[in-house]
Structure 1
């Protein structure tokens, strides 16, 4: 009898795969035009690919363990796969922002700052009416998110997002064996 993999064991390969796919998308966007990294379209594409791959690998794992999976097992698999992919992505982004192109964080900061001002104006806030100290704070907070410490902090907050997404994915991936009902 073949021994079944635990959700941790089963999530390692998909997590690495998803992380590498996310890095490939990031690096392709960077090489095409670095401003794409601050685009909502890139975020949307990344989320769709991320969800699609997690669901694909989750269904594959469910079939490997007999076609049924509890909510807890599905949550553990999803969360661990996302955690591993997040670590891979974090390492790749740190390399991109601090080794490959150290000027990229400033470019992305400027783009994100400008988009923040545009968003404020779309809600009726006049950016010129803001005190210079407030504008400097917005710019500094944006720039801080691209430092290694900022990236680690964002990853830590991302764990909460991963847990919420894992709950949603577990609800999608779970499948109860109805033959066990009396």
Structure 2
């Protein structure tokens, strides 16, 4: 009889796959046009691919378990896979921003800053009416998010988001054996 993997063991391969897919999307976008990395569309495409992959791998794991999976097992599987994927993405982005193209954070900071100003205008706020110190603060906080410390901080915040997403995915992936109710 084949021994079943724990959710932690089962999440390693999907986590690695999702992390490498996320890196591939990031690097392809970078090579096409680095400004795509600041695009909302790229983020949405990545999110759809991410959700699709974790649901696909989760259903595969559920089938491995005999077609049923508890909420806790589904949560553990999803959360661990996302953490592994996040670590791979973090390493790849640190390499991209600090080794491959150290000027990229400055380019992305400028794009994000401009988008922030455009968003302010869209909400009726005139960016020219803001004090220069406030504009500098917005630019500096945007630039700080691309530093290694900023990326680690964003990953820490991402862990909370991963937990919330894992709860949603666990609700989708769980399936209980109703034959045990009798």
Q: One fold, TM greater than 0.5? A: yes
1:95 positional shift: 0.2
CA deviations over 1:81-114 (Å, ceiling 9, x no partner): 0000000000000000000000000000000000
Between the aligned partners of 2:17 and 2:43, the Cα distance in structure 1 is: 18
> Does the alignment pair 1:44 with 2:44?
yes
Aligned equivalents of 1:132, 1:40: Cα separation in 2: 27
Aligned-partner Cα distance in 1 for 2:63–2:91: 31
Aligned-partner Cα distance in 1 for 2:120–2:141: 16
Name the Cα RMSD after superposition.
Answer: 0.3
Find the aligned partners of 2:119 and 2:60 in 1 and give their Cα distance.
Answer: 41
Helix, strand or coil at the partner of 2:86: helix
Q: State the partner residue of 2:170.
A: 170
> TM-score, normalised on structure 2?
1.00
Match of 2:152 in 1: 152
Listed one character per residue, the Cα deviations across residues 106-151 of structure 1 (whole Å, up to 9, x for unaligned) are: 0000000000000011000000000000000000000000000000
| Structure 2: gaps of 5 or more residues | none
Structure 1 residue 55, shift from structure 2 partner? 0.1
Q: Identify unmatched segments of 5+ residues in structure 1.
A: none
Question: 1:72, CA displacement in angstroms?
Answer: 0.2
Residue 125, structure 1, aligned to residue 133, structure 2: no
Determine the structure 1 residue equivalent to 2:88: 88
Q: 2:34 aligns to what?
A: 34
Deviations along 1:25-81, one digit per CA (max 9) or x if unpaired, are 000000000000000000000000000000000000000111100000000000000
How far apart in 1 are the matches of 2:84 and 2:166?
13
- State the number of aligned residues: 182
